[in-house]
A and B are shown apart, each in its own frame.
Chain A
Amino acid sequence: MKLRLAVFVAGASLLAAIPALAHHSFSAEFDGHKPVRLVGALTKVEWTNPHSYFYLDVKDDKGNVVNWGCEAGGPLALSRAGMKRGDLKIGDTIVVDGYLAKDGSHLIDARRVTLPDGRNVYGGSPGDGGPSDTSAAASKK
């Protein structure tokens, strides 16, 4: 009971803390019912506005390699979330958790990025209208 209450309080406060203003709506592009985890080697980083992009070579269970794009917040949002552009180097293996693009492309909305040093960083932008990562801080230890 206590845990459920704590989760409810946390959830409600998070919704209040996250401005619901849209630069664009998460659900105009991504499917909240298709969560994806990508583990792969970084082939390109675009540290740009309005979004940054991490491109990964991801091996499927048949051994085929597909290059995926992961859309994250722009540089200001990522810096505030604790990521610096120097944290990522081409060839690093990173884990990106997010939701699949509705139009079928190899693109996900990066809600959580696990860096090579094990840190988890929230990948969204303030006001992108998308779900927050409720476990980013929990795994910062």
Chain B
Amino acid sequence: MKLRLALSAFFLVSTVFAQDGGGLTASEPTGPSKPTPRTADGHPDLGGFWKGDRKTKPVGNIGKDLPGFKLPLTPAGQAALQFNLTKTIDPESLCIPGGIPRHNASGLPFMVLQTPKYVAFLYFYTYYRLIPVDGRKHSDDPDPSFFGEEIGRWEGDTLVIDSIAFKDEKVWIDENANPHSDKLHVVERWSRPDADHIHVETLIEDPKFYTKPFTYQRTWVAGPSGQVLGEYACSENNIDRDHLGPGPGDILPDGTRGYADIDPLPPPIKPATPPKH
């Protein structure tokens, strides 16, 4: 488990410094902001390839906007958190969709495609959610799912997505293994303030596990035109499945997770003679 975490941490660190051309995070564009593109029916077009920026800290923590990142857990929520930390393997490692709101807090990029009837969010591990925006209401007794039953509507220039009916097993609400129950209700308000940014205000309510609703807000930066998600077949060779232990690794004071203290690798082997240039 420790090795996998170390490798994941290395991967994340290296992508933070990756070039914007193909990397998974982006730096702020320079120059004056460009106007929000609109679709033929007059709505802002949320479509694009969206990458995390360097300002979002800590990544992967749904309590990022709360003082000390402390989530308002009920006693049942505390117990569920302990259970997740000690007894559950990261569902995404088992090739189960992280769902919402986990994907909103993730460090990985995503795509949006917008049509008059549906808005599609496409995620890095080849998961997706399809949000109808045709005025329908929630159904009477939706089957629980990892993304919930998602209903979208436009309020002026804001896309509001209301989601209920969430699964309560094999779910983490964020990368830190924080919990959610089947009573989760998420309301997202998506906007595109200018061409290079997409923004979400996420309201999270879960009366079983959290004493009060709380919010998570975030802005992503547009990737270069033409960047697309590659195919990701999680189950192709998931050897980790039989080796992984529970939990996300140590939760660190900065609100991220991983490893607290590792022994260094041996120093690099120096060549016997200096390489010719």
Report A's interface with B, CB cutoff 8 A. 47, 75-76, 79, 84-86
Contacts and interface: CB of A to CB of B under 8 A. Distances in A.
Closest 3 CB pairs of A and B: A75-B143, A85-B143, A84-B141
- The main secondary structure of chain B at its interface with chain A is loop
- The main secondary structure of chain A at its interface with chain B is helix
Interface residues of B, number: 3
Given A76-B143, A79-B143, A86-B141, 5 more contacts: A47-B143, A47-B144, A75-B143, A84-B141, A85-B143
Contacts of B143: 47, 75-76, 79, 85
8 contacts: A47-B143, A47-B144, A75-B143, A76-B143, A79-B143, A84-B141, A85-B143, A86-B141
B212 to A, nearest CB: 30
B126 to A, nearest CB: 15
Nearest to B169: A48
A25 to B, nearest CB: 18
A86 B144 CA distance: 12
Contacts of B144: 47
A70 to B, nearest CB: 19
A54 to B, nearest CB: 16
A19 to B, nearest CB: 21
Nearest to B144: A47
A24 B156 CA distance: 46
B141 to A, nearest CB: 7
B148 to A, nearest CB: 14
